[in-house]
Structure 1
């Protein structure tokens, strides 16, 4: 779990047993995951501890949330060096068949101009369709 410890330490997060396990699970994910889906991967996980772990990861910008329109917030690891600034935001792809949400890290959200005196804090762009596995 040395890699997981390094990931937490880079974000100034104290490496507790639960935090290490959650990072390990998130590293293995190919798509964004909900709190419920993550909790199902642990036999005896305390939901409050898991929620607090995710909250800590969000505060330290280790993960980001995705509202893909499914009604459930999903979580994904940020790339190394990401600070979740507007310039680093990326699009997401929601597969309408398997219901998985993927980060499209190479596809940036286009620069959007807002009216004068408006302050933009975030943006969410979700593309919808079939992923490569469901499209076969």
Structure 2
């Protein structure tokens, strides 16, 4: 992602485009799979863990990334579509977790099936993960 485009994307979400935020956004946009905090720490080995965590949390709060809970035991973060509002169920989509390479992929064009919960339940988030082997494995 070009720096101007990355800056515009952050500014459109009311996020101050600091150097680290731009670097993290560019890293996320280059990945085919979702990333964990540990992945970011490994890639940005000279960066502070707290800064990376706060960057992810800021991105999540402003709809730049979404959390994915898969069988890896680590929370992963996937880049949201630019028009995402992170609203349930409109922007919820399926994910695929590969048990071989342990990558998690977002399928933004595959919506979570409509689930009719009893009236007393008020959902705010959904996580739909299919587990198996990816084509590369």
Q: What's the TM-score once normalised by structure 1's chain length?
A: 0.95
The aligned residue for residue 97 of structure 1 is 100
Q: Deviations over 1:2-32 (max 9, x none)?
A: 1111111111100011101100100101000
How many residue pairs end up in the alignment? 134
| Secondary structure of the corresponding residue to residue 9 of structure 1 | helix
The aligned residue for residue 116 of structure 1 is 119
What are the residue-to-residue correspondences of 1:1-136 with 2, within 5 Å? 1-86=3-88, 87-134=90-137
Listed as ranges, the gaps of 5+ residues in structure 1 are none
User: Aligned-residue CA RMSD in angstroms?
Assistant: 0.8
Q: What's the TM-score once normalised by structure 2's chain length?
A: 0.95
Paired with 1:116 and 1:79, the residues of 2 have a C-alpha distance of 30
Listed as ranges, the gaps of 5+ residues in structure 2 are none
Q: Which runs of 4+ in 1 moved over 4 A?
A: none
